[in-house]
Amino acid sequence: MPKLTFLGHACFLLQTEDGETLLFDPFIIGNPQAPVSAEEIKAGYILVSHAHMDHLGDAYDIAARNDAMLISTSEIAEAAREKGLNVHGLHIGGSYRFPFGTVKLTLALHGSGIPGGHACGFLVSCGGKTIYFAGDTGLFGDMKLIGELNRPDLALLPIGDNYTMGPDDAVVAASFLKARQVIPYHYNTWPLIETDPLLFKEKVERQTGADCIILQPGEAHTL
């Protein structure tokens, strides 16, 4: 079963059954919640949803140290390639079959953090499970389509408000996505995005029937 570890803010580490390691939005240095140092992280693939510093974070350094492949939008992949990194660029709506499974880029309503680009989310299918990582995004109606077409087993959703969906919109997102399980992130890193995840859990479980798992930084969930 794939195992997902929360590394604080919007950073997750996904370990697949066949031993591959995928790192999402590795913001470690400067992240007051980070439970590990950037040097300790081992990853074969690094998925970057957009180039804001709390997502691109330490991606380049970790990719270089691990000789990892950086997966992102074409614009960010090109910027990373210019740093000498191994990259795979996709764009929204496009998917690609990697050795560990399939990655599809989804819409995210958010700035790209890089000229000309667009933020994205990721649908990752591996080991018979589909995980939706929303990236930084506001609520959008096409999450319904993502839910209908992909039936994610697990949806990772930002709930901290101000820069992304707040908890009430994230409850609507969870109902659109029809995920069996939901894990919130992008909250309580700083005072500006303080929110009570227990209130979100109570609402999302009551209104959508999904199980909500709250992970403290460093904690893991096996799908």
- Interface residues toward Mn ion, by CB under 5 A: 54, 136
Q: Which is nearer to Mn ion, 13 or 126 (CB)?
A: 13
Q: Which is nearer to Mn ion, 20 or 136 (CB)?
A: 136
Angle at 188 between CA 183 and CA 192, to 5 degrees: 125
CA distances from 102 to 87, 130, 162, 179 (A): 16, 9, 31, 18
Give the number of other CB atoms < 10 A from CB of residue 81. Answer: 14
Q: How far is the CB of 106 from Mn ion (least distance, A)?
A: 16
Q: Which is nearer to Mn ion, 8 or 101 (CB)?
A: 8
Q: Are the C-beta atoms of residues 7 and 34 closer than 8 Å to each other?
A: yes
- Of 24, 34, 52, 193, which one interacts with Ni ion (CB under 5 A)? 52
The residue whose Cβ lies closest to Ni ion is 52
Query: From CA 87, how far away is CA 46, in angstroms rounded?
Result: 9
Q: Which is nearer to Ni ion, 10 or 223 (CB)?
A: 10
Binding partner of 104, given Ni ion, Mn ion, none, CB within 5-8 angstroms per partner class? none
Angle at 47 between CA 23 and CA 62, to 5 degrees: 55
For the segment 97-136, give every residue that binds Ni ion (CB under 5 A): 136
Residue ranges in contact with Ni ion by CB under 5 A: 52, 136
